[in-house]
């Protein structure tokens, strides 16, 4: 009787979730580089819809009130919140005055793991703060603005509705894809009701396709004089509107939210996927407005998939002059470190190594705001066997090998018969929508951590300003010369070359207070004593830029011998003061 009652109690605890608690510190042993007993336990081997993301970000903000603030940037087309986590040591200065990094994911709705990578970054920073000195120092100096998804409507549509791995790409603003006056009259049809849109094939002794002799699940084209066994009929679906076409109004053909940004924007048909005008998509407009209100953002990362790429602009060759050599050298420094941190990822330039993109997000961030921005294309086949596809031995496609031996055929719908109303007897099968562009669960956390480390390195290299030294020289008659050397210890300057070219942000300001200032100047050459005087408001010297790993020198002639304070105020470099 006692055993039965105890069993019932244990069972009830499991059902009600009482067992889902953080483990006691004495029950676990810390693995290096990982939070050992987080306040908010999260499984990083699966994907989260918008409701789950909402739950996670709310828990993180509640568990770490001194490090995290949660806000909504606005609403999606369907009314979902665009959550943003501000992460910094809130006890050490105003988060909005520290050099900051912006991170978002999931602008393309089927490119989902960017949300998990962004969330993982937030979770890791917050849960590591207590026992990681590097993270403590980082959040004392820097701020992260993390927006897990900027396309929550179609993210949920991808998860909860039938789709291929490549659909939908856009949001859910209704679009007449084939311009016949009706919307969504021929979407995907999940013929076997398994949640994924796979492929259709039909036997034909004169077809152009046959089964791969190494793995019969794979279809390969036959040679020019070889008879095949099958016709490939495309993604599963039905001609719903009787126009002879299948799936022509499926969600894969809608607008592209990464062609909506206000830099080098071009309309259709010059740029396929462009919508009405720059920032006509409400989610993008909300991000733009947030960035405009936060001039402290000096670095940015947008997560896409797939291909294992670290991308920078320009998106089109017409914009090549935007990126000058000074800024390219900084991009190169950051991205080369990224390649070493993320095996299998390659540093590429969009227009040169891929294709032309007009109105892309990373071009607006850099071109329009002077923010050093990367777009990482997540997931690469390299991660399957830690080698490139061309290195895999034998004729076996690594995707099929990977599914067979590491996923135990969980990613593939076996070919099976179906009686199609238009095509007759066919077979349906192929890879599920959660494979091909998305990480399998056991690789998700590892790659999230590596990409997070690249973002942390990028953020770490945003400006760190110091007033290195203050020197005084007595000029006689109660006058004193005060010289201050201001250093930037990191690689990223306070103003990118693009920022300087278009005067996007106000100049940095070096001020002296507590003394009567008679003259103020920027010292252009200390050895030759060459200075440029600022006649107006000499107490507040304007400096156009504080370069990376470099210094600027300012000087004042003051009257009196009292104490004074020197302050450096930079939009992207933050605030620093020193009393003398």
Residue range 472-513, pLDDT digits in tens? 999 999 999 999 999 999 999 999 999 999 999 999 999 999
Over residues 560-569, the mean pLDDT reads: 92
Question: Do 305 and 273 lie in a common domain?
Answer: yes
For 19-142, list the strands marked E by DSSP.
68-75, 81-87, 100-105
- On the CB side of 493, CA atoms within 13 Å amount to 24
Question: Do 481 and 563 lie in a common domain?
Answer: yes
- Say yes or no to pLDDT of 7 above 50: no
Residue 263 lies in a domain: yes
Question: Do 139 and 268 lie in a common domain?
Answer: yes
* Lowest-pLDDT range of 177-181, 347-351, 361-365, 440-444: 177-181
Q: What is the span of the domain harbouring residue 153?
A: 34-157+256-369+441-460
CATH number of the domain encompassing residue 307: 3.40.630.10
| pLDDT higher at 387 or 453 | 453
pTM over 0.95: no
Phi, psi of 543 (to 5 degrees): -120, 125
Asked if 252 contacts 164 with a C-beta cutoff of 8 angstroms, the reply is yes
Residue 180 lies in a domain: no
Distance CA 144, CA 284 (A): 19
Strands 424-431 and 199-203: antiparallel
Asked if 83 contacts 125 with a C-beta cutoff of 8 angstroms, the reply is no
The pLDDT value given to residue 179: 67
Question: Do 334 and 446 lie in a common domain?
Answer: yes
- Say yes or no to pLDDT of 14 above 50: no
Residue 9 lies in a domain: no
Question: Do 92 and 205 lie in a common domain?
Answer: no
Residue 6 lies in a domain: no
Distance CA 47, CA 441 (A): 9
Which ranges of 133-280 would DSSP assign to H, the alpha helix?
A: 133-141, 152-160
The pLDDT value given to residue 178: 59
- Say yes or no to pLDDT of 6 above 70: no
Tokens coding 242: 């009787």
Over residues 545-559, the mean pLDDT reads: 97
Residues pairing with 488 in the sheet: 465, 550
Q: What percent of the chain has pLDDT over 90?
A: 83
Asked if 84 contacts 72 with a C-beta cutoff of 8 angstroms, the reply is yes
Strands 412-420 and 516-525: unpaired
The pLDDT value given to residue 184: 59
Strands 297-305 and 100-105: parallel
In our burial notation (b when 16+ CB lie closer than 10 A, e otherwise), range 60-96 reads bbeebeebbebeebbebbeebbbbbbbbbbbeeeebe
Residue range 211-269, pLDDT digits in tens? 999 999 999 999 998 999 999 999 999 988 777 778 876 665 578 999 999 999 999 88
Question: Do 533 and 510 lie in a common domain?
Answer: yes
Question: Do 45 and 77 lie in a common domain?
Answer: yes
Total structural domains within the chain: 3
Question: Do 346 and 450 lie in a common domain?
Answer: yes
Residue range 267-284, pLDDT digits in tens? 988 999 999 999 999 999
The SS3 of residue 528 is coil
CATH number of the domain encompassing residue 474: 2.60.40.10
- On the CB side of 346, CA atoms within 13 Å amount to 11
Residue 173 lies in a domain: no
The pLDDT value given to residue 21: 62
- Say yes or no to pLDDT of 18 above 50: no
The pLDDT value given to residue 171: 84
């Amino acid at each position: 009787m006692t055993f039965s009652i105890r069993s019932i109690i244990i069972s009830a605890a499991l059902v009600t979730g009482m067992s889902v608690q953080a483990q006691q510190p004495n029950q676990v042993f810390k693995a290096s580089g990982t939070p050992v007993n987080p306040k908010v336990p999260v499984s990083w081997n699966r994907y989260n819809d918008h409701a789950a993301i909402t739950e996670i970000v709310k828990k993180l903000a509640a568990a770490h009130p001194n490090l995290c603030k949660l806000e909504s940037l606005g609403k999606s087309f369907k009314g979902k919140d665009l959550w943003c986590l501000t992460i910094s040591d809130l006890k050490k200065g105003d988060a909005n005055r520290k050099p900051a990094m912006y991170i978002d994911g999931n602008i393309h709705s089927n490119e989902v793991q960017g949300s998990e990578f962004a969330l993982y970054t937030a979770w890791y920073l917050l849960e590591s703060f207590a026992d990681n000195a590097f993270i403590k120092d980082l959040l004392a100096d820097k701020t992260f603005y993390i927006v897990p998804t900027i396309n929550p409507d179609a993210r949920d549509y991808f998860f909860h509705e039938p789709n291929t791995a490549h659909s939908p790409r856009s949001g859910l603003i209704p679009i007449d894809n084939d311009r016949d006056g009706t919307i969504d009259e021929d979407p995907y049809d999940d013929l076997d009701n398994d949640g994924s849109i796979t492929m259709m094939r039909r036997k034909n002794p004169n077809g152009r396709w046959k089964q791969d002799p190494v793995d019969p699940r794979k279809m390969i084209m036959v040679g020019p004089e070889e008879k095949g066994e099958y016709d490939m009929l495309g993604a599963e679906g039905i001609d719903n509107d009787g126009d002879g076409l299948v799936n022509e109004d499926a969600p894969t053909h809608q607008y592209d939210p990464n062609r909506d940004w206000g830099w080098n924007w071009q309309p259709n048909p010059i740029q396929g996927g462009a919508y009405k005008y720059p920032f006509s998509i409400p989610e993008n407009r909300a991000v733009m407005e947030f960035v405009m209100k936060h001039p402290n953002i000096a670095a940015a990362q947008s997560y896409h998939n797939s291909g294992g790429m670290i991308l920078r602009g320009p998106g089109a060759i017409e914009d090549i002059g935007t990126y000058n050599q000074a800024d390219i050298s900084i991009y190169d420094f950051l991205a080369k470190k990224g390649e070493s941190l993320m095996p299998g990822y390659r540093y590429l330039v969009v227009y040169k190594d891929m294709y032309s993109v007009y109105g892309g997000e990373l071009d607006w961030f850099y071109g329009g705001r002077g923010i050093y921005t990367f777009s990482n294309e997540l997931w690469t086949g390299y991660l399957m066997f830690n080698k490139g596809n061309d290195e895999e031995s034998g004729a076996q496609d690594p995707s099929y090998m990977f599914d067979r031996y590491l996923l135990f055929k969980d990613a593939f719908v076996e070919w099976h018969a179906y009686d199609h109303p238009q095509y007759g007897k066919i077979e349906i099968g192929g890879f599920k929508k959660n494979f091909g562009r998305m990480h399998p669960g056991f690789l998700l956390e590892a790659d999230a951590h590596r990409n997070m480390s690249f973002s942390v390195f990028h953020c770490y290299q945003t400006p760190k300003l110091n007033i290195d030294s203050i020197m005084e020289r007595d000029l006689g008659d109660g006058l004193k010369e005060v010289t201050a050397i201001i250093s930037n210890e990191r690689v990223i300057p306070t103003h990118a070359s693009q920022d300087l070219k278009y005067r996007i942000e106000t100049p940095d300001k070096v001020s002296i207070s507590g003394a009567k200032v008679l003259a103020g100047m920027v010292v252009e050459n200390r050895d030759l004593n060459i200075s440029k005087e600022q006649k107006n408001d000499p107490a507040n010297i304007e400096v156009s830029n504080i370069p990376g790993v470099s210094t600027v020198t300012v000087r004042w002639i003051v009257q009196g011998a009292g104490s004074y304070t020197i302050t450096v105020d930079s939009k992207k470099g933050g605030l620093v003061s020193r009393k003398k």
